[in-house]
Structure 1
Amino acid sequence: MNEELYKKAIAVLDANFQEGGFTIPSAGLYPFQWKWDSGFIAIGFAHYDVEKAKAEMRTLLDAQWENGFIPHIVFHTDNDSYFPGADFHQSELHPLSSKKYRSTGMTQPPVTGFVLQEMYRIAEDKEDMLNYIKEDIDKVFENHVYFYENRDPQNEGLVYIYHNWESGTDNSPVWDDIWKTMNPPEYTFVRKDTTHVDASQRPTKREYDHYLHIIDIAKQNNYDDAKIAELSPFLVQDPLFNAMLIKSNQALIELYELIGGNEEKIKTILKWQAKSIKSFNEKLFDAELGAYVHYDLRNEKPIRHITSSSFSPLFANIPSPERAKVLVKTMMDKFGGDDKYLCASFDPTNDRFNPKKYWRGPVWINMNWMLFLGLKNYGFADVAARMKHDSIELIEKYGFYEYFDCRKNTGEDNTPGYGGNNFSWSAALFIDMVNTD
Structure 2
Amino acid sequence: MRFGIFKTYCFAFFLIVIPGFKLIAQSRITSDSIGSWQQLDNVASLSGKSEWRPMLTYVAKLHKLSTHAAIWPFDYEWEGIGPGYVYGEAFGHWDIVHIVLDEIPSFPQHALHQLFNDIKNQEPSGLIPGSIYMPGGISKRDSVHWDKTTAGHPPLWPIAVQDYIDHTGNRSIIKSFYPALIKQIAWFEKNRKAGKEGFFYNDILLKKWESGVDEGVRFDDVKKGPLACVDATSHVYNLYKIAALWSAQLGLDDNWYKKRRDELKTFIQNDLYVNEDGMFYDIWAVKDPSFRHLAFESMWPLVVGAATKAQANRYIDKYLMNPNVFLTAHPIATIGKTDPKFEKRMWRGPAWNSMSYWAAIACLNYGRKDGAKLILEKALDETAKQFKRTGTIWEFYDSLGGNPEDLKRKPQTKYNSPSKDYLGHNPLIAMAILYDSIK
Give the aligned partner of residue 420 of structure 2: 421
Structure with more relative contact order (C-alpha pairs < 8 Å, separation 6 or more): 1
Contact kept? 1:162, 1:234, Cα under 8 Å: no
**Offset of residue 51 of structure 1:** 2.0
Distance 1:62 1:76, change over 3 A: farther
Task: Judge which range, 35-44 or 288-297, deviates more.
Answer: 288-297
Give the aligned partner of residue 254 of structure 1: 245
Distance 1:167 1:364, change over 3 A: same
Distance in 1 (alpha carbons) for counterparts of 2:226 and 2:175: 34
- 1:373 and 2:361 aligned: yes
Contact kept? 1:342, 1:386, Cα under 8 Å: no
Matching of residues 2-17 of structure 1 within 5 Å:
2=50, 3-17=53-67
SS in 1 for 2:124: coil
Distance in 1 (alpha carbons) for counterparts of 2:125 and 2:326: 46
Give the aligned partner of residue 110 of structure 1: 155
Matched letter for residue 232 of structure 2: F
Matched letter for residue 188 of structure 2: F
Give the aligned partner of residue 428 of structure 2: 430
Matching residue within 314, 318, 329 for 2:317 = 329
- 1:44 and 2:81 aligned: no
SS in 2 for 1:424: coil
Matching of residues 257-276 of structure 1 within 5 Å:
257-258=248-249, 260-263=250-253, 266-276=254-264
Matching of residues 295-310 of structure 1 within 5 Å:
295-296=283-284, 303-310=291-298
Give the aligned partner of residue 174 of structure 1: 218
Gaps of 5+ in 1: 95-104, 182-232
Q: TM-score under structure 1 normalisation?
A: 0.74
Matching residue within 326, 344, 357 for 2:333 = 344
**Offset of residue 72 of structure 1:** 1.0
Matching residue within 337, 353, 368 for 2:342 = 353
Matching residue within 58, 63, 69 for 1:19 = 69
Matching of residues 7-156 of structure 1 within 5 Å:
7-20=57-70, 21-27=77-83, 28-30=85-87, 31-77=89-135, 81=139, 91=148, 105-123=150-168, 126-127=169-170, 130-154=171-195, 156=197
Contact kept? 1:109, 1:245, Cα under 8 Å: no
Distance in 1 (alpha carbons) for counterparts of 2:177 and 2:311: 35
Distance in 2 (alpha carbons) for counterparts of 1:413 and 1:65: 37
Contact kept? 1:111, 1:245, Cα under 8 Å: no
SS in 1 for 2:132: strand
Distance 1:346 1:141, change over 3 A: same
**Offset of residue 416 of structure 1:** 8.3
1:244-280 per-residue CA deviation (whole Å, 9 max, x = no partner) reads: 222333233333433x3222xx222112111111111
Distance in 2 (alpha carbons) for counterparts of 1:340 and 1:327: 19
Contact kept? 1:249, 1:273, Cα under 8 Å: yes
- 1:240 and 2:280 aligned: no
1:75-107 per-residue CA deviation (whole Å, 9 max, x = no partner) reads: 344789299x977x764xx5xxxxxxxxxx301
Distance in 2 (alpha carbons) for counterparts of 1:79 and 1:433: 28
Distance 1:77 1:341, change over 3 A: closer
Distance in 2 (alpha carbons) for counterparts of 1:377 and 1:432: 17
Aligned-residue sequence identity (percent) comes to 17
Contact kept? 2:295, 2:336, Cα under 8 Å: yes
**Offset of residue 287 of structure 1:** 2.3
Matched letter for residue 304 of structure 1: R
- 1:316 and 2:307 aligned: no
Distance in 2 (alpha carbons) for counterparts of 1:413 and 1:243: 30
Matched letter for residue 13 of structure 1: H
Gaps of 5+ in 2: 1-47, 71-76, 388-392, 409-416
**Offset of residue 325 of structure 1:** 2.1
**Offset of residue 415 of structure 1:** 6.6
